[in-house]
Amino acid sequence: MRIILVFIAGCAIFIKNRKQKEAWMQFVIRTAMMLVLIVILSFGTALSVDRMVIAEMITNTGCVPCYPADMALNEIAVNYASLLSVIRYHWWYPDPSDPYYNFNVSENTARNNYYSNNYSPRLLIDGSIDGGYSYAGWETRIDNQSFEPSPLIIALSGNYAPDTRAGTINVRIIAVDPPGATSLRLRIAVIEDDIHWQAPNGVPVHEQTFRDMIPSASGQSITLVQGDTLDYSFAFTLSASFAADNCKLVVFVQSDVSPRPILQGARIAIPDMIQTAADDDIMPHSFELGQNYPNPFNAETRIDFRTAGGRVRLEIYNITGALVKSLMTDNLAAGRHSVIWDGTDLSGRSVSSGVYFYRLRDSSNSEMRKMTLLK
């Protein structure tokens, strides 16, 4: 890098015009700043990424102790809706006639065996935290885990056609920090809410019921290092027995090495993936964050994005992960939107030149991009 800068600066000797020489030296300074920032980023800086916790419950409709545990988890799921996704697997004991177990015996069994489970109720929090059967401590464990930053960003989009019940889920994984785990797998669970059936153990309505795995219970093998961005698309079809409006896709990256930690989770509802004819022309993705323009920029830059509607947050972070400015926290209509950032922080003061990150979030999605401010 030093040789490159010396060569570029040395070229100024052959420039006789003073203004041209000053302009050239400004270019040298900017180039040096960019190279330094690239080196800093290449060595890595901790960028705090909010975690979506994945809670996997093992239950059975004939398990009497599972009733109060299910009721407790229902309340926790509501209280932590924005940062928690729940999947409830049904296993064969004590009642092998459990209809939710029998609907998908192989994959319910695969996930049960994955954790070497032999009792219910049981809760696994982000794979590696065993909540056991004592549901009184589940909320505290989930709350504590929600404060643990994740090394990954998972952004979701996709489409679903109600007439054919077929869809595609698009997954983007960004490693903003070293994953810190190996033998990684991308897994996608189909869950269904609001299933009304009076179970033998007394549960009247079944929430977050596991239905299917995409593409399979073993998942998609992935390899990640800091700075990587991976994109995957998976086709799926919902069974005619599912109420599609009550279905969600829960996506998570997990290490198959004991204690099998889940690095990050994400969630998208099937209704949010349904596109109208107009959407096909003007909004191919319900959630999308565009690259700011201009980039690099000096005085101000425009950030374009699309949203499916609802509460949206757009925030600016520096390379240390500190919040620089919240550009938006508002309820928006579905469609295209734009926001201007004038290069100021939360106090209205101009920030220094450098690399910044901007992140768009709603209740189900998160996406981040990088931009450069040069003064």
| Per-residue confidence (pLDDT) for residue 249, from 0 to 100 | 98
Q: What is the pLDDT of residue 16?
A: 53
* pLDDT for the residue 375: 74
What is the C-alpha to C-alpha distance for residues 25 and 50, in angstroms, rounded to an integer?
A: 41
- pLDDT for residue 27: 53
Residue 247: name the closest of 97, 103, 87 by CA.
87
Tens-digit pLDDT profile for residues 238-286 = 999 999 999 999 999 999 999 999 999 999 999 988 865 444 444 445 7
DSSP string of 207-227, one letter each residue = -SEEEEEES-TT-EEE---TT
263, amino acid identity: L
**Two tokens at 208?**
């977050």
Considering the domain delimited by 53-274, tell me its CATH architecture. Answer: Sandwich (2.60)
Which pLDDT does position 282 carry in this prediction? 41
Q: Which residue, among 139, 120, 127, 130, has the nearest Cα to 74 in the 3D structure?
A: 139
pLDDT value for 286? 74
Whole-number Å distance between alpha carbons of 120 and 319 = 44
Which pairs with CB-CB distance under 8 Å and at least 24 residues apart come from 340-349?
Answer: 340/300, 340/301, 340/302, 340/303, 341/292, 341/300, 341/301, 341/303, 341/316, 342/299, 342/300, 343/297, 343/299, 343/300, 343/301, 343/373
Tokens standing for residue 247: 């279905």
The backbone torsions φ and ψ at residue 169, rounded to the nearest 5 degrees and listed phi first, read: -110, 125
Q: How far is it, in rounded angstroms, from Cα 265 to Cα 96?
A: 30
> What is residue 30's predicted lDDT score, i.e. its pLDDT?
52
State pLDDT tens for residues 110-156. Answer: 999 999 999 999 999 999 999 999 999 999 999 999 999 999 988 88
pLDDT at 38: 47
For residue 254, which of 347, 166, 189 has the smallest C-alpha distance? Answer: 189
Q: Which pLDDT belongs to residue 50?
A: 83
Q: Are 143 and 194 in contact (CB under 8 A)?
A: no
For the beta sheet containing 366-373, the strands, ordered from the edge strand earlier in sequence to the opposite edge, are: 323-332, 310-318, 354-361, 366-373
Q: 284-373 in CATH: which number?
A: 2.60.40.4070
Helix (H) or strand (E) holding 313: strand 310-318
pLDDT at 334: 86
Spatial distance between the Cα atoms of 314 and 209, rounded to a whole number of angstroms: 32
Structure tokens at 128: 């590696």
DSSP string, 96-157: TT-HHHHHTHHHHHHHHHHTT--SSSEEEETTTEEEES-GGGHHHHHHHHHTSPBSEEEEEE
| C-alpha span between 336 and 270 (Å, rounded) | 21
- Nearest of 264, 44, 269 to residue 154 by alpha carbon: 264
Run of H or E including 309: none
Block means of pLDDT (10 residues each) for the chain, 375 residues, are 46 52 52 46 55 97 98 96 95 98 98 98 98 98 96 89 94 91 98 98 98 96 92 96 97 98 95 65 66 86 90 88 89 90 92 90 86 84
* Gap between the Cα atoms of 311 and 153, Å rounded: 19
What does each C-alpha distance from 67 to 103, 111, 113, 333 come to in angstroms?
20, 21, 22, 39
